[in-house]
Amino acid sequence: MSPVVPPPAVALGVLLPVLVVLAAAAVVLVLDVLPPRDSKAHLGGVALAGIIGALLAIVMRWGTDARAFRDMVLLDTYALYFDLVICYAAALIVMFSMDYLGRTGSESGEYYSLLLFSTAGMMLMASAGDLIVVFLALELMSLSLYVLAGFFKQRLTSGEASMKYFLLGAFASSFLLYGIALIYGATGSTNLDRIAAAAATRNAEPMVLIGLAMMLVGFGFKISSVPFHMWAPDVYEGAPTSVTAFIATGSKAAAFAAMIRVLVVALRGAQPDWSALLWALAALTMTVGNVVALAQSNLKRLLAYSSIAHVGYMLMGLVAGGGPGPGAVLFYLLAYTFTTVGAFGAIALCARAGEEAVEVSDYAGLARRHPVLAATLALFFLSLIGIPPLAGFVAKFYLFGAAVRAGYIWLTVIAVLNSAVAAYYYLRVIVYMYMREPDGEPVAVAPSLAGGLALTLAVAGIVILGLMPAPFADLAQVAVAPLLR
């Protein structure tokens, strides 16, 4: 008999936050087939409990710097920071979903379990120390989101969103995989550190550069940067609003997490190359996003283009590089996540004539009938513009500052001009809410405990981040430190 194959060390502690989320998904699946058969409202509670459990695990593990499964999974402050952002987004979205789906009685075990699966995928993307894990985690996240986008089966737009997202997403994933294969071919490894070591001598090789470009296409699709953004407006519009919020925040944060780690750790030697590529992508993304957003009358499409523009700003931080650049991106993602989840969540609460209120004109006169909700929504839009003292302002301040200090004056000028353009379409929504009267039936708001609590948390998030940003900015800087060793 041949010798025993030595088993690898199993360190489940490194996986704890992810395992809690996956366990919650399993519990949701089991409870779904047990009675009561007609009411699934309790499953949202289980999902929420799982995510809160994961948040506790993250806080417990804070400050560790561990790796396990032969360097496949890393649990450093960088991963934990992103886990925190993703879990906050997921928790708020579960709360909005409980209320949004509960109103139409469409809550189901599949919905919450897939939401948890995609959350686990996102968290693993932030923890991945190997390109194989990056790909598998990305697929776990995406597969669940493709299905969730088509959750409202009786709606054609939802099916279209799901189909479009799936086909284009699969196409983008294959680009990513091709890139991974080329990088493996050039360096002989899929491990990020070993790629960095092997690539140090072979940077100018076309195989590495083409692999890098292919991977950027894959990531560029997931963060919806121009020119890989075409899917975003249609998918954001057609998907259930709660799912849209998750695609806009969680999946973007996760894709940024993996992309920054791959670029800064594995491909640090090719920094001049990817930096130049990203410069062009950033300028293009913010400009196209903002200009096209000007013409939108559907609020979900408007927010889709707005989120594209924000990706453009965030790419600036990567261009700036060093410590402050990625750190500013991490802070920006935190602020952006709270704001965007809140804005989509507030939209999910509104309905007009039995339909979801998604047109900008639906919101005419909202301020007189529902002053609190209108003020909340206005706060989110002001934060997206970047008005002090809200989170969006501080985030932009750090990001633009990092770009200027790194010497990218022109890119910053483009970004500032873009911010001015963006103010127009955000303010237009606020004008509708405060200064117009509805043509017909006014918008109705379904008040609920879970949705209200989630909105309160989101508003608290952007105000706290805006008023005392320093501790959180420090946190973001601490988080990027493990990448720069």
Partner 1 sequence: MTYAPMLMVFAFAALVAGALLFLPKLAAPRRLTPVKAEPFECGKDPMEISEGRFAIKFSTVAIFFILIDIELLFVWPWAMLYRRLGWFGFAEMLVFLGILMLGFFYIWRKGGLEWE
Partner 2 sequence: MELAAFTLIALIALGSALGLILKRNAIHGALFLVVNLGSVAALYLTLGAEFLAAAQVIVYAGAIMVLFVFAIMVLIPGKEETGPDPRRPLRWVALPAGALLLAQVLVILVGTRGPTPVGSPAPGGVEAIGRLLFTDYLFPFELTSVLLLAAMVGVLLLARRRT
Residue 315: which of partner 2, partner 1, none does it interact with, CB under 5 to 8 A by kind?
Answer: none
Q: Whole-number minimum distance, CB 99 to partner 2, in Å?
A: 21
35 binds partner 2 (CB under 8 A): no
Angle at 227 (CA atoms; ends 222, 229), nearest 5 degrees: 45
Q: What residues have CB less than 8 Å from 374, skipping those under 6 apart?
A: 366, 367, 433, 434
Name the residue nearer to partner 2 (CB basis): 129 or 317: 129
Q: 5-8 — which CB contacts under 8 Å span 24+ positions? A: 8/69, 8/70
Q: Which of 72, 84, 212, 378 binds partner 2 (CB under 8 A)?
A: 72
Residue 3: which of partner 1, partner 2, none does it interact with, CB under 5 to 8 A by kind?
Answer: partner 1
- Asked if residues 192 and 265 have their Cβ atoms less than 8 Å apart, the reply is yes
Name the residue nearer to partner 2 (CB basis): 109 or 392: 109
Q: Whole-number minimum distance, CB 130 to partner 1, in Å?
A: 18
CA 387 from chain centre, in angstroms, equals: 22
Q: Which of 70, 368, 369, 405 binds partner 2 (CB under 8 A)?
A: 70
- Asked if residues 46 and 27 have their Cβ atoms less than 8 Å apart, the reply is yes
Q: Locate tokens 């890989």: which residue? A: 228
DSSP string, 319-340: HH-TTHHHHHHHHHHHHHHHHH
Q: Whole-number minimum distance, CB 149 to partner 2, in Å?
A: 10
Name the residue nearer to partner 2 (CB basis): 154 or 437: 154
206 binds partner 2 (CB under 8 A): yes
Instruction: Measure the CA–CA gap between 330 and 124, rounded to whole angstroms.
Output: 17
Q: Which positions lie near partner 1, rule CB under 8 A?
A: 1-5, 7, 26, 29-30, 32-33
Instruction: Measure the CA–CA gap between 135 and 401, rounded to whole angstroms.
Output: 33
205 binds partner 2 (CB under 8 A): yes
Site stretch for partner 2 (CB under 8 A), options 1-9, 221-229, 342-350, 407-415: 1-9
Burial class for 196, CB neighbours closer than 10 Å (0-12, 13-18, 19+): middle
292 binds partner 2 (CB under 8 A): no
Instruction: Measure the CA–CA gap between 255 and 263, rounded to whole angstroms.
Output: 12
Residues found near partner 2 in the complex (CB under 8 A): 5-8, 10, 22, 29, 68-70, 72-73, 108, 110-111, 113-114, 117-118, 120, 124, 130, 132-133, 136-137, 139-140, 143-144, 146-147, 150-151, 153-154, 162, 182, 185-189, 194, 198, 202, 205-207, 210
